[in-house]
Structure 1
Amino acid sequence: MIIASLKELRPVPSTLQLKHPITGELVFTGDNEPLTITMVGQDSTQVFDEVLLSAKRRAEAGEHGKTTEFDIAERHSFITAAITGWSHDDFFGGKFSKKKIAEFVRDPENAALVGQIEVHLLERANFFAK
């Protein structure tokens, strides 16, 4: 039997330390600080609202049920909505903003890092207090 309080079952933000896509080693800056992304989970209001908006855009475009470029755009929107901060502005191309994170997520050169973010985001256990 598991006894838990409601507070323990509410999602919390999570921080992901990025890994090198080839070696799997944790990535640090030149100052030996970890390179991190902070995000909210897929059950958060901001991600849920983005999913609803995305479904509305797809329906309005007549793309419901089709596999198109909408799938990639929806994936990027989902990830962008979840990210709430990062640790080092220089690495990510400037001070944190939704515009900067959208640029980072959409850049094909960042696909391996974005993949790590997506995997972390999709694992609900990462967003509950331990």
Structure 2
Amino acid sequence: MELHELNTELITQMFVDKVAEIPEIGTNGALLSNPDTAAKFPVCVIQPPLSKLKNGGAVFDLSITIEVWAEGQYPALSIFDKVRIKLKDYNLKLANSTPFFFDAATKKWRYGGYFEVRWNAIDNSFDKN
């Protein structure tokens, strides 16, 4: 049996594309790094997944951090809930939330969470973790 190789770039792009489906975010608002003051808000920052090899390379446990940056706390919460629901398409499950944070440079609120999923190298799929 030949195992698929973990492709972090492709997986990250899949998550970015899924988040970009949310109208408030769009393709220009799904970022891989924190925005600067010139960014058009709201934005969503998706960190590339951290991976932990399991079962001799047959599966990887992936965890990613995602934050929504918005004008206020309630818009950040609302958009984050849309992100959480969208990511269920890939079996990502919210494991923990981050506290609200006001960014002094951008004057925006950010709120996010940690998501987990198991990537199956046997059939190249995202399994519930």
> Do the structures match in fold with TM over 0.5?
no
Higher helix share: 1
Which structure has more RCO (C-alpha within 8 Å, separation ≥ 6)? 1
Q: TM-score, normalised by structure 2?
A: 0.29
Q: TM-score, normalised by structure 1?
A: 0.29
Bigger radius of gyration? 1
